């Protein structure tokens, strides 16, 4: 009788084996200060792996994107290369429209034929508006048709407050984005195109004997920053999307509508430093535990997480947390691999930090009639 009671208790809550925590753990104090004041119309900093927003302001406000638009122009071209519909070695003929496009330039010449890879790098590193238009025309015939691709991918990525009307980012009547949407696009670029992402940290690029430097000043002042893009128009102000990787943690930041080149750099550095100093990314994987199961050919079944999970917590907090498995009542066969069976609950100082779903990692076949009958009798007692 005592044994059966103990089994029931264990089946509901099983503590994971972990390093013993001293009795004074609950006395640990974590002070996470408020995010610093940021001089910009809108901003956000988020954890790339977990997607958690660490700090933000006016995150969904619609703003002119300026040259941040080129992040989507590049994303579309990257995707078509991936799909086999374009190639880095493609010859791109430069139209008069591309050549005449104002603003920042890669100094391409009308009538010349240039490799698609060269145009991509000119657009990404030099922020060439002419290169952006040339790419759009090569991919879709016209820049207007190309923007249909841009808006379709924006919707697919969940960029709900974004509309593109050209490939370069020059101000247009109804072209807009938000800090949240640009963070989504930056994260997607890093995730979906790791082979192209290193171009965003290249400090300079030379075409037609003209050397131009990347406008992202953080590439010189912070060696953990490895992208992504700047932008400026009178309507937009000074924008900067950046990403940095420190201490096994990647953050993505967006600053929109800052007052100057120096300000957008300073404000971005400020929010990145805040995120890295006070937060950390925890990767949870390979959680597996044998738990009791009734009416099965086996006495136990392996349960665990469906895959890797990332959490963003105050730095140092996870080491002092407690983890427990809570099952959805008593488990009984039949159970199929992948069936939801409970949660992994992580707590700190009596408060639940997160609940992660647990699944069966294997099938549990139903036992024969007599075995099930014995289990039924046991459950009565």
Q: Quote the mean pLDDT of the chain.
A: 89
Q: What is the pLDDT of residue 377?
A: 47
105 preceded by a cis bond (ω within 30 of 0):
no
pLDDT attached to residue 54:
98
Q: What is the pLDDT of residue 295?
A: 80
Residue 28's pLDDT is 62
Query: Over the stretch 121-135, which tens digit does the pLDDT of each residue have?
Result: 999 999 999 999 999
Helix (H, G, I), strand (E, B) or coil at 354: strand
Give the pLDDT confidence of 203-261 residue by residue, as tens digits: 999 988 899 999 999 999 999 999 999 999 999 999 999 999 999 999 999 999 999 99
Distance CA 271, CA 279 (A): 12
Q: CA 270 to CA 246: how far, in whole Å? A: 15
Residue 12 has pLDDT above 60, yes or no: no
Contacts 24+ apart (CB under 8 A), 121-124: 121/199, 121/202, 121/205, 122/205, 122/207, 123/70, 123/73, 123/74, 124/70, 124/74, 124/199, 124/200, 124/202, 124/229
C-alpha to C-alpha distance for 249 and 242, rounded to whole angstroms: 14
In terms of DSSP bridges, do strands 288-292 and 300-304 run parallel, antiparallel, or are they unpaired?
Answer: antiparallel
Question: pLDDT tens digits, residue range 336-379?
Answer: 999 999 999 999 888 999 999 999 999 888 765 445 445 554 55
The confidence score (pLDDT) of residue 287 equals: 81
Task: Answer yes or no: is pLDDT of 13 > 80.
Answer: no
d(C-alpha 141, C-alpha 143), whole Å:
7
Residue 317: strand, helix, or coil:
coil
Dihedral (Cα; 293, 294, 299, 305), 10-degree rounding: -10
Give 21's pLDDT tier (boundaries 50, 70, 90). Answer: very low
Q: Which residues are catalytic?
A: 67, 70, 127
pLDDT at 26 over 80: no
Q: Looking at residue 213, what is its pLDDT?
A: 95
Q: Report, as an integer, the average pLDDT of 91-98.
A: 97
The pLDDT of 22-30, averaged and rounded, is 50
Domains of the chain: 2-16+287-380 (2.60.410.10), 42-279 (3.40.710.10)
Q: Are 251 and 272 in contact (CB under 8 A)?
A: yes
CB 107 within 8 A of CB 87: no
For residues 193-209, give the mean pLDDT: 95
pLDDT at 285: 83
Kindly state the helix (H) or strand (E) to which residue 95 belongs, with its residue range. Answer: none
- Among 180, 138, 146, 189, smallest CA distance to 164 is for 146
Kindly report the CA angle at 234 between 229 and 236, in degrees rounded to 5? 50
pTM of the model: 0.85
What's the whole-number mean pLDDT along residues 159-164? 98
> Is residue 147 scored above 60 in pLDDT?
yes
User: How does pLDDT run across 267-285, given as a tens digit for each residue?
Assistant: 999 999 999 999 999 999 8
CA 134 to CA 91: how far, in whole Å? 11
CA-based torsion, 12, 17, 21, 27: positive or negative: negative
Average pLDDT rounded to a whole number, residues 294-322: 89
Task: Provide mean pLDDT across the span 41-56.
Answer: 97
Question: For residue 186, which of 146, 157, 209 has the smallest C-alpha distance?
Answer: 157
286 — pLDDT class (breaks 50, 70, 90)? confident
Kindly tell me the burial class for residue 37, based on how many C-beta atoms sit within 10 Å of its own C-beta (0-12, 13-18, 19 or more).
exposed
Residue 23 binned pLDDT confidence (cut-offs 50, 70, 90): very low
> For 303-329, what is the mean pLDDT?
91
Nearest Cα to 244, choosing from 276, 217, 266?
276
């Amino acid at each position: 009788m005592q044994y059966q009671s103990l089994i029931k208790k264990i089946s509901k809550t099983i503590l994971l084996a972990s390093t013993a925590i001293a009795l004074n753990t609950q006395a640990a104090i974590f002070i996470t200060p408020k995010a610093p004041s940021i001089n910009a119309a809108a901003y956000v900093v988020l954890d790339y792996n977990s997607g958690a927003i660490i700090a933000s302001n006016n995150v969904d406000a619609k703003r002119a994107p300026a040259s941040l638009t080129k992040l989507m122009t590049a994303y579309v071209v990257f995707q078509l290369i991936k799909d086999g519909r374009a190639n880095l070695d493609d010859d791109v003929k430069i139209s008069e429209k591309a050549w005449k496009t104002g603003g920042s330039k890669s100094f391409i010449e009308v009538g010349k034929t240039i490799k698609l890879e060269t145009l991509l790098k000119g657009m990404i590193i030099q922020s060439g508006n002419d290169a952006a238009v040339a790419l759009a025309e090569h991919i879709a015939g016209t820049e207007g048709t190309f923007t249909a691709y841009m808006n379709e991918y924006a919707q697919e990525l969940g960029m709900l407050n974004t509309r593109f009307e050209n490939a370069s980012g020059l101000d247009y009547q109804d072209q807009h984005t938000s800090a949240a949407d640009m963070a989504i696009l930056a994260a997607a670029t890093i995730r979906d195109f790791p082979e192209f992402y290193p171009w965003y940290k290249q400090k300079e690029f030379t075409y037609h004997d003209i050397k131009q430097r990347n406008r992202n000043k953080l590439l010189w002042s912070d060696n953990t920053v490895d992208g992504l893009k700047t932008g400026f128009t009178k309507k937009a102000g000074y924008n900067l999307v950046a990403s940095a990787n420190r201490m096994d943690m990647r953050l993505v930041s967006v600053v929109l509508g800052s007052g100057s080149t120096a300000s957008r750099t300073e404000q971005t550095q400020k929010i990145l430093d805040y995120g890295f100093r006070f937060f950390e990314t925890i990767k949870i994987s390979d959680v597996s535990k044998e738990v009791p199961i009734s009416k099965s050919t086996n006495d136990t079944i392996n349960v665990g997480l469906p895959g890797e999970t990332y959490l963003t917590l105050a730095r140092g907090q996870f080491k002092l947390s407690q983890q427990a498995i809570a099952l959805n009542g008593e488990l009984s066969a039949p159970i199929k691999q992948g069936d939801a069976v409970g949660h992994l609950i992580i707590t700190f100082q009596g408060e639940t930090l997160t609940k992660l779903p647990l699944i069966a990692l294997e099938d549990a076949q139903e036992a024969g009639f007599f075995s099930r009958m014995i289990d039924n009798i046991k459950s009565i007692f």
